[in-house]
Structure 1
Amino acid sequence: MESRLRTSAAVLLLGPRQVGKTTLARHVVDELSSRATYLDLERPADQRRLADADAYLRARGPSLTVLDEVHRVPDLFAVLRGVIDENRRQGFRNGQFLLLGSASLDLMRLSSESLAGRVSHIDLAGVAVDEAASAGIEPETVWVRGGFPDSLTAPDDATSQTWREDLIRSYLERDIPMFAPRVPAESLRRLWTMLAHNSGGLLNASRLASGLGVSSPTVDRYVDLLSDLYLVRRLRPFHPNVGKRVTKSPKVHVRDSGLLHALLGLESLDDVLGHPSAGPSWESFVVEQVIMGAGPAYQPHHYRTATGDEVDLVLVRGGRPHVAIEVKRASDATVGAGFRRAIADLGVRNAFVVRPDVGGEAHTLGPGVTSIGVTELVSRLRGP
């Protein structure tokens, strides 16, 4: 983030609530001391400071201004453009604003419309398995509790579960009414829970609509909202030019495994392992961890043919697939014929069967396919 601030006039830091955006921003403010100001746009006092936002922000001069919960004041983006351009004319080009928000779609649209060429975007996800390992936290704990820092570092599973249940309630009672006032919170919770039961499954809007008693377009709108809030991920299919019929439906993953388990009432590792959704949960967990490790240079997709040949995660760069991932819960995982045919379709040279870390060191399962623990793969993708 500090690197982006050195090269961009504004940085927009996006991610779910309670993931650590404010903590990170306050660290930057503390580092810069008197040359930075932090405003929380949920606080009435800070809202009053921006009653005449143009005058207040212009008076700040050559210093960083952090605007937390910026999605609450969408009209501010038009003001920021004028302030940024005036500061640039005065020789203060970069590191002017750090903007924090919890809803991606509207903020991306507003920033693209008003701050084109002036803003850099960063998505902040939860704690990754390699980061947790450096703090002595086992990957199974990250899987069960998820990547929200307060959930992950809770003193016991029950406290962690309560924290996640409170976060879910906060989303339903506070965020949903703000971002989508016409969406019934209970309907959204039911959909969220249905997606948790089959996380990583192909999106079947008509089946979900039947279960909810709503229309398919309504389900699509609800899934879009959950995606916009960083709660689920639409993993779109990759379409190579191989002359095969390929599934066109996206997969939908619940992004944080801890929230997935809280939605299903699963508190401990034993609870998770004994539940029918353990396999889908593990797949979603690994997919999110690998995407975090790969970073924004790669676009994530899935691949599935009409005959069932499948790759759980394809990492694409420059329009070409570079990495293929098959997720297995068994530590002694093997490679199926469908996965081999799928990676041949994709022309991928780097294929991995990702399993729990207890399966030992990475080893070859055949030409171009490596069995590897999730923590080791994330570390490899992240690089030095």
Structure 2
Amino acid sequence: RASQNTLRSKLLHSRVVLLRALPRAGRTSLLSALAAEMDDGSAVMSGEQLVCMSHQEIQAAFSAKVLCVDAIDGAQVPRVESIIRSCTEHQRSAPRFILVGRNAKTDQTLISALIGIMTDLELTPIQVIEHLNDSKPLMTTQGPSSTTAPQAQSINAPVWSKEALWLRGCLPESLYADSDEQSFNWRLDYLASLLNQDLGCWGIDASDRLPDVFQYVANTNGEQFDDANCAKNLSVKRESIRKSLNLLERTGLIRRLPNWPAGSNQSLNSMPVFYVRDCGLLHAALGIRSTEQLWRHDALGHSWESFAVEAIVNASNGNATPAFYRDKEKNEIDLVLRFSSDAIYAIEIKVNSDAKANKGFAIGCNTVGATQRLVVHSGETDITSDEGVPRLKLVSALKQLPL
């Protein structure tokens, strides 16, 4: 996976990396693949195994190697911290650690315990380019749809399908389920387990109505979010809504986009936009079981917007600050990316490949100082419009982003 390269890069600059992700996103598989690839004695062990060893044993066995510690429990954090601090005293020969907590609360405890020592990395579920690279080319009656030289691929590789990725989402067990119905049911169970677990450690109980807050976000996906209205409709306190939203963000279920410019007082006083990050989970919440249902559903536009926004933000690889733009005159841009190079990408997202950016998009681009303007659609053809704004399929748009 692409995350392996990012993880290796992180290890060059930090001795301890926390790998965060939604449950079942593939962290354990990634650790095993990374340790096998290194082939230098680096290893994977559980938190339970680690805390049974002394720091001297760990230092001797894994000097200058990578030790991946999976399934760390909250109660094990003090011992894990002690071992890591003792090992990192050996500056040149200290092992490098990759840590995986059992849940978001353990992740937060590790972050607090290892301030100044540890950096963190989010492992996103399978991404569009990853799925494309790992899949068989789509066959037509004339042969492969691509004219490029064939690449070695597993005979078990799935056929590339943007529609499957969009409908089912990017969690492996959902994406690779035997049928849409099996995938849908898996996602329903996944959401129920995630949202109805004991969250007392976060100060959240049944009175906060977390599952209903998530459903409210799904129902208003891609719209500016008024937490006061949400609180009124759900008959809970506004502070409770904010607490639930914060937890949903921390766990990686939703993404908050601030109004442009992100981080400014103006932005902080403006209502954000929330997206359910995994479209498969969005569709489970909305009861969308099939591609046919999706194309008939009122949420089609916001669903595609959610899918495209998440793919584009993840493809920017942390090098850009995402926001949306909307002013009092309702001129708007779906996604604005400010890159560390100061390039500013203004992106309008459309389901219909024939749809062009409107006048409000052009006004918004002038306001934010966009250096690149794009329309991203759900079709399979790249088009240059008369106005000079390229209308691109999603894969082409991802490849246009700065490295």
* Residue type of the alignment partner of 2:221: S
Q: Which residue of 2 aligns with 1:346?
A: 368
Structure 2 gaps, min length 5: 1-6, 136-158
Give the alignment partner of residue 20 of structure 1, picking from 23, 26, 30: 26
Tell me the SS of whatever aligns to 2:236.
coil
CA distance in 2 between partners of 1:192 and 1:277 (Å): 16
Q: Specify the alignment match of 2:387 in structure 1.
A: 366
Report the alpha carbon displacement of residue 339 of structure 1 after superposing the two structures with TM. Answer: 0.6
Q: Which runs of at least 4 in structure 1 moved beyond 6 Å after TM superposition?
A: 244-247
* Equivalent position amino acid for 1:97 in 2: F
1:152-177, Cα deviation, whole Å (9 max, x unpaired): 11121011112211211221244x53
Say which SS state the counterpart of residue 337 (structure 2) adopts.
Answer: strand
Residue 223 of structure 1, CA deviation? 0.4
Deviations 1:92-118 (A, max 9, x none): 14x5101124766873674366241x3
Secondary structure at the aligned position of 2:335 is classed as strand
- Secondary structure of residue in 2 paired with 1:333: coil
Q: Name the counterpart of 1:98.
A: 98
Moved more, 183-192 or 276-285: 183-192
Change (3 A) 1:246 1:324: farther
Paired residues of 2:51 and 2:80 also in contact (CA < 8 A): no
- 1:132-281 equivalent positions in 2, closer than 5 A: 132-134=131-133, 135=135, 136-174=159-197, 176-177=198-199, 179-180=201-202, 182-184=204-206, 187-239=209-261, 248-281=270-303
TM-aligned CA distance change 1:339 to 1:109, over 3 Å: farther
- The reply to whether residue 4 of structure 1 matches residue 10 of structure 2 is yes
Give, in angstroms, the shift of residue 61 of structure 1.
4.0
The answer to whether the 8 A contact 2:42-2:62 is kept is: no
One-letter code of the match for 1:184?
A: A
Alignment match, 2:82: 79
Give the Cα–Cα distance (whole angstroms) in 1 for the partners of residues 365 and 350 of structure 2. 16
Shift of 1:245: 9.8
> Is the CA contact 1:355–1:371 (under 8 Å) kept in the aligned structure 2?
yes
Deviation of residue 38 (structure 1)?
Answer: 2.1
Helix, strand or coil: the match of 2:90? helix
Query: Counterparts of 1:245 and 1:108 in 2: how far apart (Å)?
Result: 27
C-alpha contact 2:346 2:372 (8 A) present in aligned 1 = yes
- For 2:69 and 2:336, locate their aligned partners in 1 and report how far apart those are by CA, in whole Å: 36
Secondary structure of 2:260's counterpart equals coil
TM-score of the pair, normalised by structure 2: 0.83
Deviation (angstroms), 1:370: 1.5
Q: Report if aligned partners of 1:208, 1:219 keep a CA contact under 8 Å in 2.
A: yes
Specify the code of the residue in structure 1 equivalent to 2:46: D
Distance change in 2, residues 1:185/1:347 (3 Å): same
> 1:379 corresponds to which letter in structure 2?
K
Identify which range, 322-331 or 107-116, moves more after superposition: 107-116
Aligned residue among 68, 71, 79 for 2:70 = 68
Say which SS state the counterpart of residue 345 (structure 1) adopts: helix
Corresponding residue number in structure 2 for 1:380: 400
For structure 1, which segment, 372-381 or 100-109, has the greater mean C-alpha deviation from structure 2 after superposition?
Answer: 100-109
Sequence identity (%): 25
> Which residue does 2:147 correspond to in 1?
none
**CA displacement at 1:131 relative to structure 2:** 2.1
Q: Residue 79 of structure 1: CA displacement? A: 1.6
Structure 1 pair 129/221, CA: closer, same or farther in 2 (3 Å)?
same
**C-alpha RMSD over aligned residues:** 2.9
Rounded to whole Å, the distance in 2 between the matches of 1:110 and 1:246 is 29
Change (3 A) 1:56 1:364: farther
Q: Which runs of 5+ in 1 are unaligned?
A: none
Letter in 1 for 2:349: V
Query: Equivalents in 2 of 1:16, 1:160: separation in Å?
Result: 17
Classify 1:150/1:331 alpha carbon distance in 2 versus 1 (closer, same or farther; 3 Å).
same
What CA deviation, in whole Å up to 9, does each residue of 1:257-286 have, x standing for no partner?
000001111110111122211211111111
Structure 1 position 225, deviation (Å)? 0.3
Paired with 2:237 and 2:207, the residues of 1 have a C-alpha distance of 16
SS at structure 2 position matched to 1:4: helix
Q: CA offsets per residue over residues 22-53 of structure 1, 9 Å max, x none?
A: 11001122234572332334xxxx26x51566
